[in-house]
Structure 1
Amino acid sequence: MSPLAGPDDDDSLALRLAAYEGRPAAVAARGPDVVNPAMIRHWCEVMGDTDPVHQGPGAVAPAAMLQVWIMRGGAPRRSGGTPERSAAYEELLALLDDAGCTAVVATDCEQEYLRPLWPGDVITYDAVIESVSPRKTTRLGTGHFVTTRTEIRAGGELAGVHRFRILKYAPARTGTQGPRPRPVINRDTAGFWEGVAARRLLFQRCTDCGTPRFPWVPGCADCGSERWTAVRASGAGTVYTYTVVHHPPVPGATMPHCAGVIELAEGVRMATEIRGVAPEGLRVGLPVTVEYADAGGGGDAGGTGGGQLIPVFRPAATRDEGP
């Protein structure tokens, strides 16, 4: 069944989903660790929490740590820790999968705090499927919001309630993502883009202290001078760092999209797109060279589309033309 099915099918699915409301998601589960000063200290250090009530061996756990005490960590199974999800919850997720809602994203959570947690408290909890929404359409796609309510106890006493909401959805058809955004050209960067239009890769060099810089800015960060000259780079460089973007789609780019920081032979670095290499072929230190692509032409390395040119890089071994 598709989440884009007709009204009758949609009503039938909604009734089947609603039947899971009130069914358990986890029963009589136990937190993997007792409340302890070490985890409280780690949390406070990361969050910058300096409240003295959360310091020392008798520290009160910060209220926002409520969910921490029931999290199982990265291991798929952990003896004495969080159990697998209940059969009812697994059935609900499978039903949504069968309806085409195969993607999932966490949307938000709500917490209620009923009593403090102290070191030595043994945490137990029960979780219930509180609600499954009717079909909703979002920018991510069409699907259903599933909310679970977890009651967290310390020594058998209710200490807090944690509501967690996810969206199970069928990803929206992306189709065309539109053209690549045009570069922002202003008085400070116009010289760089004029060079690109002439197939010249330019960076700035401070006239007073000689420090090279990129991107283009009005003044030198080293000495403060506003005097500079434009220098043509050779176009050769190496990959300094990189990332491979699989989602969301990048307008005007073929996915997966490879982006990186290139260290030019002259010492300056620039963020750019890396083409002509599969993601698994990318590596730090890979020799690359510049080429010029049409920003609106979807990859015309020759720049024959008549539009705005942008500098991109590809492995030096596949270089087609000079900068």
Structure 2
Amino acid sequence: MTTYEDRLAAFTGRVLVERRFGPDPVNVPMIRHWCEAMGDTNPVHLSDEAARSTGRSGIVAPASMMQAWTMRGYAASTTPADIGAFDELVALLDEGGYTSVVATDSDFDFHREARPGDDLSVEEVVESISAEKRTGLGTGRFVSTLKTYRDAAGEVVATQRWRTLRFRPSAAPRAPRPRPAINQDNEFWFAAAREKRLVVQRCTECKTLRHPPGPCCPECQSFAWDTVTAGGRGTLYSYVVAHHPPHPAFDYPLLIAVVELDEGTRLITNLTGVTADDLAIGMPLEVEWLVADADLTLPLFRPVAPQEH
């Protein structure tokens, strides 16, 4: 029985791209546009006189343009075509889960410079397909090919050893939860949360509890305060079900609630362990701590089991 490895190995030495001519011969306008885009000021690419002064017969194309002369262009590359060896190899690599690609190496050997009027072609042959490798991008295989560029007479102008990594992308780490705006007035609350303690600010003059934290009591305007530890129980006062805009740190739909604590203050939090269909105003809730990372722990709330209330 032919194995997957055998099927991959069968591509070694196979022609991936039959000899194909570029859409246009080498020409001075394209050379000029290329040099302007690349900031290449070498006069041999733009002036016959300058080129002849170096012993050349006239203008020559920059070596870095070699691939550009045989590229089919966007429209041609998106037009359906007969399935060829290249498409077969890509399909086989996709079958193995190697669905992503990145170029890794390009090694050119130039036999002569390309000149205006040259009608260039390219042929590509598979040199090797590596065994499976582990990389920083994911597990994959290096595919090495040899591209041969020829003029209209079939003479070799350049060769290019081209290597790509076809890989299974590693699962991206979950985006970090957005940072809260921590300041001198609320830092104590987040510090307590890191210890999994839910606290409420209290005015030491009139004993009024308040949340969110602030520097001054809204009842008596005193700046003196301390905290009390909340029991972690409350009821659902209000909620919204958020679908947009999505943020990669959250699962959607996202349940955002106003919870009224047994102590009487309210806080905005996320709900867990429940779906939107099961929510009901006034339902009993209890705290569940989310350790987002080493610096951030937050209180979420979940429904209290029926036997617990």
Q: TM-score range by the shorter chain?
A: 0.5 to 0.7
The aligned counterpart of 1:142 is: 139
Secondary structure at the counterpart of residue 122 of structure 1: coil
CA distance in 2, matches of 1:78, 1:101: 21
- Tell me the matched-pair count: 192
Distance 1:134 1:84, change over 3 A: farther
Shift of 1:102: 2.0
Contact 1:37 1:56 in 2 (8 A): no
Contact 1:26/1:86 (CA < 8 Å) preserved in 2?
no
- Structure 2 CA distance for partners of 1:163 and 1:304, relative to 1, 3 Å: closer
Which of 44, 49, 60 aligns to 1:53? It is 44
Asked if the contact 1:25/1:86 (under 8 Å) is kept, the reply is no
Contact 1:106 / 1:165 at 8 angstroms: preserved in 2? yes
Larger Rg: 2
**Which one-letter code corresponds to 1:110 in the other structure?**
D
Instruction: Specify whether residues 84 and 160 from structure 1 end up closer, same or farther in structure 2 by C-alpha distance, changes over 3 A only.
Output: farther
AA matched with 1:88: A
State the distance in 2 between where 1:255 and 1:168 align: 30
SS at match of 1:75: helix
Q: SS of the residue aligned with 1:16?
A: helix
Supply the AA of the counterpart residue of 2:96: A
Correspondence for 2:31: 40
The separation in 1 between residues aligned to 2:120 and 2:5, in whole angstroms, is 35
Counterpart-to-counterpart distance in 2, 1:112 and 1:254 = 51
Indicate the residue corresponding to 1:64 in structure 2.
64
Match 1:25 to one of 16, 23, 37: 16
CA distance in 2, matches of 1:104, 1:48: 29
Equivalent-residue separation in structure 2 for 1:86 and 1:97 (angstroms)? 15
Report sequence identity in percent.
43
Match of 1:123 in 2: 120
Q: What secondary structure is seen at the aligned counterpart in 1 of 2:74?
A: coil
Matches within 5 A, 1:71-220: 71-77=71-77, 87-155=84-152, 156-174=154-172, 176-177=173-174, 179=176, 194=183
Distance in 2, Cα, partners of 1:127 & 1:52: 32
Residue 29 and residue 78 in structure 1: after superposition, are their counterparts in 2 closer, same or farther (change >3 A)?
Answer: farther
Q: Residue 76 of structure 1 aligns to which amino acid in structure 2?
A: A
Q: Distance in 2 between matches of 1:136 and 1:182?
A: 37
Structure 2 CA distance for partners of 1:304 and 1:104, relative to 1, 3 Å: closer
Task: Return the offset for 1:151.
Answer: 0.4
Per-residue CA distance 1:163-197 (angstroms, 9 max, x = gap):
222222222233x44746989xxxxxxxx975896
Gaps of 5+ in 1: 1-8, 184-191, 199-245, 257-295, 307-323
TM-score (norm 2): 0.52
